[in-house]
């Protein structure tokens, strides 16, 4: 409760708490708010007990209660039936009832007025009208007032006649509400709840529920018969499925509606019993009748076929067998079902499984009861009705004592019981028999068709299809593990199995065990047949089939393995043992063998075919290879092979497996290349070829390295224990670079680096210099220098981050978010700069409808939403949009976000911010409207707004003993009553503001903090509360001003009185914030003074607390962040990025937003690369002024491997011979880094230089240097060379 003069139960508004991860300050605010609410609620309860104590002392003069504790004890021990009722004169009672009867019979449309009048009598005077079943004895009792016990049958008949008339009126209203289903769901549920509660006022619960149950039962039966049984003579499986497809959503909506209605009226056990008997049992009965009819039709059809077959077979020896078969079919009621009929039954079962799951979720959500399979104790407690009254559960204090033998009888708690499976029992044996035949039949046909296609085609390649599915049931399979293309025959088989899967999933307990057992058995046979076919296809490579078939076989095997694993997991809920253990193990072994086979085959091709190049590797040749202007043929073909392998793996296999295979092939082939070039002893003419080859290998490897690394950390800081394969790739590349440095460097540079003229020994710092694994990347003069910063800094440039993202075989969400946040959100700034600012020019109401219901998000909205979800990087949203806001001059829009501007055309960023604020204050608006409704119900109950006034003739007949005082018929528009209400409403808003701000995402709070700094000149009015608090109150005022918006947000119905009072509350809030153009009205001043009198300076302290929470996010630095450019990305570890991605994907639309951004980045890859390169050059200003609109929509084409395109790109990037030959190696910087080279490796490479050979044509100075090098490095440790010289 928010106002001291009232008492009501209240709770903290934490609607948006679960949407963010609050920090310490936010948690403190939320906990303090909870603590304050608990204290207020306890004081309200204390006040309730004191008021009850005084009333009891007035009534029961023989027993005076001294304290609230005694009041609770008295309530607990009191037997209300022992209270002595006050007598009511028989004549007065008869006159009163006759007047009611006369009004109902002679006047029209008096029922609602009389109902409200009777309820008013009961609540105000304590009159307990009889609620006996129809036709029972008449007893009127009450704890306060009652009618005399000596009432005659005339009184009973009069009262029965009155309430029967009222019952008909209420039942008609319920039925008419069902027929005209045009109102909103919330309004319809409130209306029906009110009708049910009014019926419970007149009749016992059991009778009311029975009547309502009969109504709903008839509706369910009519719905099913209209949808399913409309054409009795032509009913078939297809029509049944279509009928239930259209009726089940309606049934689920009806069940949801009744659960909400009953949850505020009766206890959960009775609600579940009602749902079971009204809906679930009725559906089961209708389904049973329907399936029996279908079975009868199918049996007759099969019998007719058997008779025809019998006539034909009389000419042959099978006559007796056919007759016997016919008799057995009649006895066992077994019949054949076609594959199409089995699919229809499976689809029907799937509908019931989904319905069962939906009802289970609804019951758990609304009634908080266990599911179908859970059996927990049904604990009775205190329930709360929709109207706010407290009800005690089934266990009551005034119950009579229970006998000991009854205590031993534990009553089974009522739970949901949907017996739709019983309807399929008669079909189970036929389905179990036919499902085996059907699966074996269609799988055999598909395999035979595939084999026939293979024999008919020359140079046959496996037919592949895109794996668009990994359907909803396969959602557990991560994207990086999903195959991209699979064999068509396998896709066809698994699609059919998926269609029949619900037949096996329907099995629960022992009812349909035979169907599941046969399905599992048939699937195992199919899995074995498909595996055998895949093994045959893999053996045909490369003799009969292309290499792509090997990848396709591997991808298909993974697809089947994942499917049967999914089947096993789905059925494991109903079976403790794994059902597909053998097939799953067989496929796992086959996948491991095939993956090793793919890797070994590719490496073997490189070793035995591609890298066998006698002409290029004739190192002793004294003729230059193509005059030293091109690299070896083998190196170029190795590069083409890697490109083709990369394409095939990326387009066929699951991303994770594809990266593993490419990494293995690259690492092992580099090991061979490194070994061969380390053994090369080139001649003088062939030495430049060594340099060109190694440079080309390194550049090709660098181009592939972006694809095999799945993270920035793996690329920049490979660890031997964590990333062994990547680490080995770097090791081989460094070995190749050492070959290039030692073999091709000028002799003088080598001599000066490794020998001082005065030294005759190996340099003492050998084996002490350790270089980084990325050393070779920093040495080759390639495009990598613009993509990476210095390797020691372990930081990647923005262009490198983009290239790493787009080189992945799938949309790597972690890498995508890291790229967006990298370098102070540079990529996001370019996207914003290049996108068009879309505005909406609709009227005020439709604009809000669009904001709430618009499903097509634009690029700006997508970027804004994703960055607002990044709670661990609170400054990213503000940093990314800062330049955009300044360029579009949008900062002032935040300051001018007044009530009048909400309906005008708005920039999209402002609309996104406003929508975020609207969602954050939705809980406050709901609470204020609930307060209005409860205050209206308690303070003005019986005034019958929009209804008839109670006739004076009826008021005169009210018995005097009841002491009924008619209330005023017109509401007070001002005065103390409204002042109290408005003060409570204002208190709720002000008290909730700190909690609302605490629950806002940190990026939103920092964005408003940044806006405050941008608007410092115009910020004088907002210093008291801050821009964020200002806008929150403005949004609340805007909602209160527009009653239609309030109804749209909350689903509540507001009458004119409520809208007027909300408008007055808005005026009070505007007055507090200083937004009123004119001076505050007298009523407004009274409201604010009333709040201040109760809590001096409370409003100001709450506003300051809210401001502090809104600005504290700016003072909390990102952990590990630095002040450098790009500090945001540096402070975010892989673990934090992963946490934010998981958080974003769990938010509404988060996963789709990320994929939409990735799609736009891929469509605009070249343009973004150009913009990023311009950002690092002096042309940054030109780039920003000449930005082009982005391509936001389009379909990514399936990449096709084009060797000529690869050749063209390779010539430009990797094999640009003129560029390679003209490279000027900085030997003075390169060679010293190899002082840490292994001593034995250096000696071997040194011995392979052409100058070290006998008879080398050297100048005198070169001879001196060579002899010196031989003396120090070769002669001391290689005595075998002296033997050879001898």
- Could you tell me the sign of the dihedral formed by the alpha carbons of 78, 80, 81, 84, in that order? positive
Structure confidence at residue 603 as a pLDDT band (50, 70, 90): very high
The predicted pLDDT at position 945 comes to 45
3-class state of residue 782 by DSSP? coil
The predicted pLDDT at position 1217 comes to 63
The predicted pLDDT at position 350 comes to 93
Lowest mean pLDDT among 460-469, 696-705, 726-735: 460-469
Distance CA 645, CA 639 (A): 10
- 1016 secondary structure, DSSP code: G
- Residues paired with residue 466 on neighbouring β-strands, in sequence order: 485
- Joined tokens for residue 961: 């003993």
Distance CA 670, CA 1083 (A): 85
End-to-end CA distance of the chain: 107
Distance CA 818, CA 814 (A): 6
Summarised one tens digit per residue, pLDDT across range 897-919 is 654 444 446 788 988 998 899 88
More confident residue, 1284 or 483: 483
The predicted pLDDT at position 439 comes to 95
Distance CA 1251, CA 1270 (A): 10
Distance CA 1036, CA 1066 (A): 8
Structure confidence at residue 304 as a pLDDT band (50, 70, 90): low
The predicted pLDDT at position 1023 comes to 60
Contact of 148 with 88, CB cutoff 8 Å: yes
- Joined tokens for residue 89: 């004169």
Lowest mean pLDDT among 528-532, 972-976, 1113-1117, 1172-1176: 972-976
For the ranges 220-229, 525-534, 781-790, 933-942, the maximum mean pLDDT occurs at 525-534
Please say if the pLDDT value at position 1110 is more than 90: no
Q: For the range 1264-1270, what are the long-range contacts, defined as Cβ-Cβ under 8 Å and sequence gap of 24 or more? A: 1265/747, 1265/748, 1265/751, 1266/747, 1268/751, 1268/755, 1269/750, 1269/751, 1269/754, 1269/755
- Residues paired with residue 145 on neighbouring β-strands, in sequence order: 127
Mean of pLDDT values over 979-984: 84
- Could you tell me the sign of the dihedral formed by the alpha carbons of 8, 14, 16, 18, in that order? negative
Query: Which candidate, 460, 443, 440, places its Cα nearest to that of 452?
Result: 460
Summarised one tens digit per residue, pLDDT across range 1053-1102 is 777 778 888 888 888 888 887 765 555 577 788 888 888 888 888 888 88
Query: Which candidate, 1064, 1109, 1106, 1107, places its Cα nearest to that of 1084?
Result: 1064
Contact of 258 with 274, CB cutoff 8 Å: yes
Please, what is the Cα angle at 1054 between 383 and 113, to 5 degrees? 75
- 796 secondary structure, DSSP code: B
Maximal CA-CA distance, the chain: 146
Contact of 743 with 752, CB cutoff 8 Å: no
Distance CA 274, CA 367 (A): 13
Mean of pLDDT values over 1148-1172: 90
The predicted pLDDT at position 811 comes to 93
The predicted pLDDT at position 1199 comes to 67
3-class state of residue 464 by DSSP? strand
Distance CA 923, CA 931 (A): 12
Distance CA 848, CA 842 (A): 9
Average pLDDT, the chain: 77
Mean of pLDDT values over 15-42: 67
Tokens 């699937």 belong to residue: 523
Distance CA 793, CA 475 (A): 40
DSSP assignment of 385-432? -TTS-EEE-S--TTPPPPPHHHHT-PPPPP-----GGGGGHHHHHHHH
Helix H, strand E, coil C: the string for 542-584 is CCCCCCHHHHHHHHHHHHHHHHHHHHHHHHHCCCCCCCCHHHH
Q: How many CB atoms sit inside 10 A of residue 863's CB?
A: 29
Those residues whose C-beta lies under 8 Å from the C-beta of residue 231, and which sit 6 or more positions away, are 239
Mean of pLDDT values over 955-984: 69
The predicted pLDDT at position 1190 comes to 67
Please say if the pLDDT value at position 745 is more than 70: yes
Contact of 402 with 340, CB cutoff 8 Å: no
Those residues whose C-beta lies under 8 Å from the C-beta of residue 602, and which sit 6 or more positions away, are 641, 645, 661, 665
Contact of 469 with 486, CB cutoff 8 Å: no
DSSP assignment of 159-187? HHHHHHHHHHHHHHHHHHHHH-TTS-HHH
Burial (0-12, 13-18, 19+ Cβ within 10 Å), 63: exposed
The predicted pLDDT at position 1191 comes to 66
Helices (H), 1074-1126: 1082-1094, 1098-1115
Please say if the pLDDT value at position 316 is more than 70: no
Cis upstream peptide for 108 (omega within 30°): no
Summarised one tens digit per residue, pLDDT across range 452-490 is 887 776 557 788 898 865 544 445 678 899 999 999 999
- Joined tokens for residue 44: 């309200």
Distance CA 37, CA 15 (A): 15
Backbone angles phi, psi at 550, to 5 degrees: -70, -45
DSSP assignment of 76-141? HH--GGGSPPPP--HHHHHHHHHHHHHHHHHSSS-HHHHHHHHHHHHHHH-B----PPTTS-----
Strand 485-487 and strand 464-466: pairing?
Answer: antiparallel
The predicted pLDDT at position 139 comes to 43
More confident residue, 455 or 501: 501
Backbone angles phi, psi at 268, to 5 degrees: -60, -40
């Amino acid at each position: 409760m928010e106002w001291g003069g009232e008492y009501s139960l209240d709770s903290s508004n934490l609607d948006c708490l679960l949407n963010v991860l609050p920090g310490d300050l936010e948690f403190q605010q939320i906990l303090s708010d909870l603590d304050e609410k608990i204290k207020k609620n306890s004081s309200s309860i204390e006040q309730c007990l004191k008021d009850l104590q005084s009333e009891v002392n007035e009534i029961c003069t023989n027993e005076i209660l001294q304290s609230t504790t005694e009041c609770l004890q008295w309530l607990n021990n009191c037997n209300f039936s022992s209270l002595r009722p006050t007598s009511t004169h028989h004549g007065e009672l008869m006159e009163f009832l006759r007047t009611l009867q006369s009004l109902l019979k002679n006047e029209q449309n008096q029922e609602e007025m009389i109902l409200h009048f009777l309820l008013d009598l009961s609540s105000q005077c304590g009159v307990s009208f009889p609620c006996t079943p129809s036709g029972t004895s008449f007893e009127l009792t009450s704890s306060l007032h009652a009618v005399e016990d000596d009432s005659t049958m005339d009184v009973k008949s009069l009262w029965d006649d009155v309430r029967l008339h009222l019952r008909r009126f209420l039942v008609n209203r319920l039925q008419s509400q069902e027929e005209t289903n045009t109102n909103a769901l919330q309004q319809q549920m409130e209306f029906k709840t009110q009708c049910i509660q009014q019926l419970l006022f007149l009749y016992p619960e059991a009778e009311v529920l029975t009547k309502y149950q009969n109504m709903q039962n008839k509706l369910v039966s009519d719905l099913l018969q209209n949808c399913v049984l409309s054409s009795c003579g032509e009913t078939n499986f297809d029509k049944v499925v279509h009928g239930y497809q259209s009726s089940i959503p309606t049934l689920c909506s009806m069940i949801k509606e009744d659960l909400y209605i009953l949850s505020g009226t009766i206890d959960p056990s009775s609600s579940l019993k009602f749902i079971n008997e009204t809906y679930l049992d009725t559906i089961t009965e209708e389904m049973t009748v329907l399936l029996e009819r279908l079975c009868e039709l199918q049996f007759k059809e099969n019998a007719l076929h058997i008779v025809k077959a019998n006539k034909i077979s009389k000419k042959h020896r099978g006559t007796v067998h056919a007759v016997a078969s016919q008799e057995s079919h009649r006895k066992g009621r077994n019949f054949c079902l076609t594959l199409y009929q089995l699919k229809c039954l499976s689809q029907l079962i799937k509908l019931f499984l989904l319905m069962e799951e939906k009802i289970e979720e609804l019951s758990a959500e609304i009634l908080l009861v266990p599911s179908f399979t859970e059996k927990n104790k049904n604990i009775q407690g205190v329930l709360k009705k929709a109207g706010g009254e407290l009800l005690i559960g089934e266990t009551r204090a005034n119950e009579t004592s229970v006998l000991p033998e009854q205590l031993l009888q534990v009553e089974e708690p009522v739970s949901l019981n949907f017996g739709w499976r019983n309807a399929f029992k008669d079909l189970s044996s036929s389905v179990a028999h036919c499902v085996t035949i059907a699966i074996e039949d269609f799988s055999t046909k598909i395999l035979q068709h595939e084999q026939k296609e293979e024999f008919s085609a020359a140079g046959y390649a496996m037919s592949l299809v895109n794996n668009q599915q990994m359907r909803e049931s396969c959602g557990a399979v991560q994207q990086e593990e999903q195959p991209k293309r699979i064999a068509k025959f396998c896709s066809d088989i698994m699609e059919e199995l998926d269609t029949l899967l619900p037949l096996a999933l329907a099995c629960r307990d022992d009812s349909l065990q035979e169907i599941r057992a046969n399905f599992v058995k048939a699937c195992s046979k199919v899995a074995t047949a498909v595996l055998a076919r895949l093994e045959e296809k893999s053996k045909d490579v490369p003799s009969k089939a292309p290499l792509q078939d090997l990848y396709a076989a591997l991808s298909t095997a993974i697809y089947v393995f994942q499917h049967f694993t999914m089947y096993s997991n789905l059925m494991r809920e109903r079976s403790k043992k794994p059902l597909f253990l053998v097939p799953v193990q067989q496929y796992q072994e086959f996948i491991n063998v095939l993956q090793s086979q793919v890797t070994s085959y590719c490496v073997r091709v490189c070793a035995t075919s591609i890298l066998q190049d006698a002409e290029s590797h004739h190192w002793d040749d004294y003729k230059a290879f193509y005059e030293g202007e091109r690299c070896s043929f083998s190196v170029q073909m190795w590069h083409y092979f890697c490109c083709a392998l990369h394409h095939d793996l990326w387009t066929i296999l699951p991303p994770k497996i594809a990266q593993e295979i490419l990494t293995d092939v690259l690492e092992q082939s580099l090991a061979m290349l490194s070994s061969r070039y380390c053994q090369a002893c080139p001649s003088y003419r062939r030495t430049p070829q060594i340099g060109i080859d190694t440079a080309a290998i390194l550049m090709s490897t660098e181009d592939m390295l972006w694809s095999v690394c799945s993270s920035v950390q793996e690329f920049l800081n490979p660890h031997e224990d964590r990333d062994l394969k990547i680490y080995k790739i770097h090791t081989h590349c460094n070995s190749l670079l050492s070959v290039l440095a030692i073999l091709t460097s000028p002799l003088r540079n080598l001599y000066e680096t490794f020998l001082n003229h005065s030294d005759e020994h190996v340099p003492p710092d050998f084996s002490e210099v350790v270089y980084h694994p990325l050393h070779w990347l920093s040495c080759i003069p390639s495009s990598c220098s613009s993509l990476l910063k210095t390797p020691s800094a372990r930081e990647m440039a923005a262009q490198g981050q983009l290239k790493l993202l787009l080189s992945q075989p799938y949309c790597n969400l972690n890498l995508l978010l890291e790229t967006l946040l990298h370098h102070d959100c540079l990529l996001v700034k370019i996207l914003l700069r290049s996108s068009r600012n879309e505005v909406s020019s609709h009227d005020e109401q439709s604009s809000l409808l669009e904001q709430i219901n618009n499903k097509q998000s634009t690029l700006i909205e997508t970027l804004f939403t994703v960055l607002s979800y990044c709670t661990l990087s609170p400054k990213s949203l503000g940093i990314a949009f800062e330049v955009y806001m300044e360029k579009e001059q949008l900062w002032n829009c935040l300051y001018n976000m007044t009530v009048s501007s909400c309906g005008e055309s708005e920039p999209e960023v402002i609309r996104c911010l406003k929508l975020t604020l609207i969602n954050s204050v939705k809980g406050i608006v709901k609470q204020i409207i609930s307060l209005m409704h409860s205050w209206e119900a308690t303070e003005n109950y019986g005034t019958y707004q929009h209804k008839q006034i109670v006739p004076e003739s009826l008021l005169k007949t009210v018995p005097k003993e009841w002491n009924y005082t008619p209330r005023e018929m017109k509401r007070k528009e001002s005065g103390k009553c409204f002042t109290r209400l408005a003060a409570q409403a204002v208190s709720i808003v002000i008290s909730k503001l700190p909690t609302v701000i605490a629950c806002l995402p940190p990026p939103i709070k920092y964005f408003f903090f940044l806006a405050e700094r941008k608007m410092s000149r115009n910020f004088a009015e907002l210093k008291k509360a801050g821009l964020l608090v200002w806008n929150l109150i403005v949004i609340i005022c805007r909602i209160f001003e527009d009653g239609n918006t309030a109804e749209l947000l909350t689903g509540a119905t507001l009458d004119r009185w409520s809208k007027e009072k909300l408008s007055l509350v808005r005026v009070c809030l505007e007055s507090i914030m200083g937004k009123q153009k004119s001076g505050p009205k007298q009523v407004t001043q009274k409201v604010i003074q009333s709040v201040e009198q109760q809590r001096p300076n409370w409003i100001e302290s709450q506003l300051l607390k809210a401001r502090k929470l809104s600005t504290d996010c700016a003072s909390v630095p990102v952990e590990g962040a630095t002040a450098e450019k790009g500090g945001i990305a540096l402070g975010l570890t892989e673990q934090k990025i992963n946490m934010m991605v998981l958080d974003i994907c769990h938010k509404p639309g988060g996963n789709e937003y990320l994929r939409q951004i990735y799609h736009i980045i891929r469509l605009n890859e070249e343009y973004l690369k150009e913009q990023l390169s311009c950002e690092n050059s002096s042309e940054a200003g030109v780039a920003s002024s000449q930005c082009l609109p982005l391509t936001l929509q389009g379909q990514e084409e399936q990449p096709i491997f084009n060797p000529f395109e690869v050749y063209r790109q390779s010539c430009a990037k990797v094999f640009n011979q003129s560029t390679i030959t003209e490279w000027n190696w900085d030997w003075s910087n390169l060679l010293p880094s190899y002082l840490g080279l292994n001593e034995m490796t250096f000696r071997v490479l040194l011995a392979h230089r052409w100058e070290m050979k006998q008879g080398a044509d050297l100048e005198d100075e070169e001879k001196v240097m060579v002899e010196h090098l031989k003396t120090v490095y070769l002669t001391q440790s290689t005595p075998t060379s002296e033997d050879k010289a001898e």
